[in-house]
């Protein structure tokens, strides 16, 4: 598999879709529709989905593309596939908060092996490079020219003073009760897949998730975190979170740096 090309195309599509998203974000009118499951969708979701889906299909016609907006039309049995959330954190986007991201990942045999997470409003760009290492590219970003690259790695966490990151829109009592079992010095709220990337960059240690998520919500951030030395485990049995499940629904999970003592 041509990982150089995958890295290049992921980057260009993430940046291009980010431009489309920010055009809608900065417009005077933001139309919000409801999907069949009552979750919100905007013009930005649809435009970004079109940019990424068309780009992946053009460059990698042999690999199935699964996206949040077009999941029903795809083969559920593929062992290698792209999985995309063109706008992760739609609720944050609608509320004009900046914690929304573009997520693109490559899954092989149940594991997300390459991924990119772009937060256009926060100007942060995380991805796995051509050899599978986790990096953050520094702004300003250009599709035609790569900027300064910094390798990232999870922190060596202090289990007596953890930094915990939790969801802004999906925080609940169960999450708070779980977090209270740890010795933590700081609790930060963040939206979308940025939570994985904050751990990958050593800016947080632990992210528990008890709310519902789908594979396209987590695959790209999972890939970046794994490449940076972190782990993503199922909450119930502490086994690795896997991909390509029949309904793409994730169980509750916990993401962390490698040396956090999980409860």
Q: pLDDT at residue 48 above 90?
A: yes
- Phi then psi for residue 30, to 5 deg, are -120, 105
DSSP 246: T
| CATH 3.30.540.10 domain range(s) in the chain | 3-151
| CATH 3.40.190.80 domain range(s) in the chain | 162-256
Beta bridge partners of 214: 249
The tens digit of pLDDT for each residue in 172-224 reads 889 999 999 999 999 998 888 999 999 999 999 999 999 899 999 999 999 99
Under CATH, which architecture does the 3-151 domain have?
2-Layer Sandwich (3.30)
C-alpha–C-alpha distance, residues 67 and 151, integer Å: 28
Mean pLDDT of 142-146: 92
| pLDDT at residue 75 in the model | 54
C-alpha–C-alpha distance, residues 104 and 85, integer Å: 7
pTM for the whole thing? 0.95
Q: pLDDT at residue 73 above 60?
A: no
Which one, of 245, 146, 256, 151, lies nearest residue 204 by Cα? 256
CA dihedral (117, 122, 123, 124) positive or negative = negative
| pLDDT at residue 250 in the model | 97
Beta strands in the chain (DSSP E): 32-34, 40-42, 65-67, 80-88, 101-108, 111-119, 124-128, 134-137, 149-151, 162-167, 184-190, 206-209, 231-234, 253-256
58 CB contacts (<8 Å, ≥6 apart)? none
Pick the CATH number of 162-256 from 3.40.190.80, 1.10.10.410, 3.30.360.10, 3.30.70.20: 3.40.190.80
At 152, list the tokens: 């990232």
Exposure letters 156-183 (e unless 16+ CB within 10 A, then b): ebeeeebbbbbbbeeeeeebeebbeebe
| pLDDT at residue 124 in the model | 97
At 24, list the tokens: 């809608």
For the beta carbon of residue 186, count every other beta carbon within 10 angstroms.
Answer: 11
- Asked whether the beta carbons of 224 and 200 are under 8 A apart, the reply is yes
| pLDDT at residue 153 in the model | 98
- Asked whether the beta carbons of 124 and 194 are under 8 A apart, the reply is yes
């Amino acid at each position: 598999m041509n990982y150089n090309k995958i890295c290049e195309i992921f980057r260009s599509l993430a940046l291009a879709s980010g431009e489309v998203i920010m055009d809608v974000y900065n417009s005077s009118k933001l139309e919000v529709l409801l999907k069949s499951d009552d979750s919100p969708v905007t013009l930005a979701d649809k435009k970004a989905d079109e940019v990424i889906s068309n780009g992946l299909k053009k460059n990698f016609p042999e690999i199935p593309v699964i996206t949040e907006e077009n999941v029903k039309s795809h083969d559920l049995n593929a062992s290698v596939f792209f999985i995309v959330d063109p706008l992760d954190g739609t609720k944050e986007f609608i509320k004009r908060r900046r914690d929304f991201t573009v997520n693109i990942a490559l899954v092989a045999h149940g594991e997300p092996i390459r991924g990119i997470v772009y937060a256009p409003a926060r100007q942060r760009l995380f991805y796995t490079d051509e050899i599978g290492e986790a990096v953050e590219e520094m702004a300003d970003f250009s599709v035609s020219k790569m900027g300064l690259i910094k390798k990232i790695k999870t922190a060596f966490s202090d289990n007596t003073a953890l930094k915990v990151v939790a969801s802004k829109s999906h925080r609940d009592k169960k999450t708070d009760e779980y977090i209270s079992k740890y010795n933590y010095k700081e609790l930060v709220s963040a939206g979308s897949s940025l939570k994985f990337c904050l751990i990958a960059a050593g800016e947080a240690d632990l992210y528990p998730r008890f709310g519902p998520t789908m594979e396209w919500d987590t695959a790209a951030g999972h890939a970046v975190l794994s490449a940076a030395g972190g782990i993503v485990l199922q909450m119930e049995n502490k086994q690795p979170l896997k991909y390509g499940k029949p309904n793409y629904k994730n169980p509750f999970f916990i993401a962390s740096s490698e040396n956090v003592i999980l409860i």
